[in-house]
Amino acid sequence: MYEFYIRFDADNIGNKIEHNLLTGKINKAQEIHDTIQSSMLNLREIIKSHEDYVLLMSGCDDILIGTNCKNILEIEKYANFIRLTFQNLSNETLSTGIGKSIIDCLVNLRIAKISGKNIVVK
């Protein structure tokens, strides 16, 4: 158990890849995929290097981390740092949910997604 959980999920990546595949732009779809994978690898390394945050899992375009930090403003600052780093690396955006439980963090991620994306909800 951690004090807080943070879930990051890239915005619209699946749709962009699928659109390119459906329109025959396989190379563009592969380029998007490769860029996201490279960017996520960099984020995983950044997270692993920070002693206050623990990488719990990472998928194709999403990450779940835990922290025992109790300062929600510091956690939000870190989440924004990760989000902006991803944007700089990939030219894509991340929506982010922070919560005291995994369920709370997933609900807040969903709120971020339906509220326009590319934001942190806590």
User: What is the domain-level CATH number for residue 64?
Assistant: 3.30.70.270
The residue range of the domain holding 53 is 4-121
Chain centroid offset of residue 103 CA: 16
Query: Which of the residues in the chain have pLDDT under 50?
Result: none
Number of domains into which the chain is organized: 1
pLDDT at 20: 98
pLDDT at 112: 98
Give the pTM. 0.94
Q: Collapse the DSSP code of 61 into the 3-class scheme (helix H, G, I; strand E, B; otherwise coil) and give the result.
A: coil
Task: Answer whether 122's CB lies under 8 Å from 111's CB.
Answer: no
pLDDT at 2: 97
